[in-house]
Amino acid sequence: MTITNAPARIPVFDLKAQYEALKPELDAAVARVLASGWFIQGTEHGAFEQEFATYCEAAHGVGVASGTDAIRIALQALGVAPGDEVVTVANAGMPPVVAIREAGAVPVFVDVDPGTRTFDPTKLHAAITPKTRAVLPVHLFGHPADVDAILAVVRPRGIALVEDCAQAHGARYQGRRVGGLGDAAAFSFYPTKNLGAYGDGGFITTGDADVADRARLLRGYGWRKKYVSESHGINSRLDELQAAILRVKLRHLDAANEERRRRARLYDEALGGVATPVEQPWAESVYHLYVVESDHRDELRAALDPAGVATDIHYPLPSHLQPACADLGLAMGALPTTERLAKQVLSLPMYPELPIQHVERVAEHVGRIVRELGG
């Protein structure tokens, strides 16, 4: 029997809603590229590199094919070589680790701050060895890591800092945009990101002209002049269609982020008794994800599903416990806060077009279920 009055399911993301909101501008941008007949590194790409670098308060921008490539190329452009160590976190999924490995380096993990869930600077000293070449903090879920505290440790040692900004387009740290705080930064334009393409894409920002130059060589066969490879490189290019789409979305990014912050405030107010995200006074989060914590996470998720509320887990298995990282020799207990969060975090629906009544409905269900589960 068909139930006609069943409530509409609330997704974690709804990319169609964003497209519908920007459809005339997006369609015009795509049509412009198709009519031009130029699809790789043309005028749209050049304009977007300049516009997004300026937005991030960085001097230079380099478009690449993915966020993972952005991390890899940024590390290599800063001189990270095979056998070097890169210190990062284990609670941000595997892409940062894949990028470090692709650069030939070895990932070294530190635990995270239990409040912000980002890189814990107090754990950094113990992780540094003579092989440490770079540190890769992740601005996770839209909240910046404490960059100044990290820089205070790495700057005197000549260790590079590369920001992973894949989940934090437009976020601010001490009033400054992320992406211009360290030696380089890497962004992803995966479709669900705050600034997302309609396919893969990535970006590197830096204040150093030489780093930007090396990154451009690395992304395109080592070419400065066509067909002449000055150095080894790969094929990692942000195409014209994605650049044109991203130029449209960039114009709306601040407004979209404010809509995310508005929904986050509503969740905060409605979810009394639930461990909600912490925003530090020195940060302005852009809530790429709205992540709560619960000792009964799996039961909560199971109860929300039949209520029509979709959820996700970011991320269920920390990187240091992944089979692919078994060679690093880390076992359960190595990163206690990271491991606890992997068992407790739950991502609720969050996107700029999420109807306010849906925020209220999600919060009502979450609050009720948490009370029934005993906290």
Q: Is residue 375 scored above 80 in pLDDT?
A: no
pTM of the entire structure? 0.96
Pairing of strands 223-225, 228-229: antiparallel
pLDDT for the residue 4: 42
pLDDT for the residue 90: 98
Which whole number is the average pLDDT over 303-317? 97
Query: How far, in Å, CA of 172 to CA of 250, rounded?
Result: 16
Query: How far, in Å, CA of 62 to CA of 201, rounded?
Result: 11
- Show Cβ contacts of residue 63 under 8 Å, excluding neighbours closer than 6 positions: 45, 48, 49, 201, 202, 203, 237, 238, 243
Query: How far, in Å, CA of 351 to CA of 180, rounded?
Result: 25
pLDDT for the residue 7: 67
Q: Is residue 132 scored above 70 in pLDDT?
A: yes
Which whole number is the average pLDDT over 133-158? 98
Q: Is residue 85 scored above 50 in pLDDT?
A: yes
Question: Per-residue pLDDT tens for 322-356?
Answer: 999 999 999 999 999 999 999 999 999 999 999 99
Q: Is residue 149 scored above 70 in pLDDT?
A: yes
Strand order in the sheet with 60-64: 60-64, 202-206, 184-188, 160-164, 132-136, 85-89, 106-110
pLDDT for the residue 298: 98
Question: Per-residue pLDDT tens for 269-295?
Answer: 999 889 999 999 999 999 999 999 999
Which CATH topology does 17-250 take? Aspartate Aminotransferase; domain 2 (3.40.640)
Question: Per-residue pLDDT tens for 353-367?
Answer: 999 999 999 999 999
Query: How far, in Å, CA of 53 to CA of 309, rounded?
Result: 37
User: Which numeric CATH code is attached to 253-373?
Assistant: 3.90.1150.10
Rounded to 5 degrees, what are φ and ψ at 249? -65, -30
Which whole number is the average pLDDT over 116-125? 98
Domain range list for the chain: 17-250, 253-373
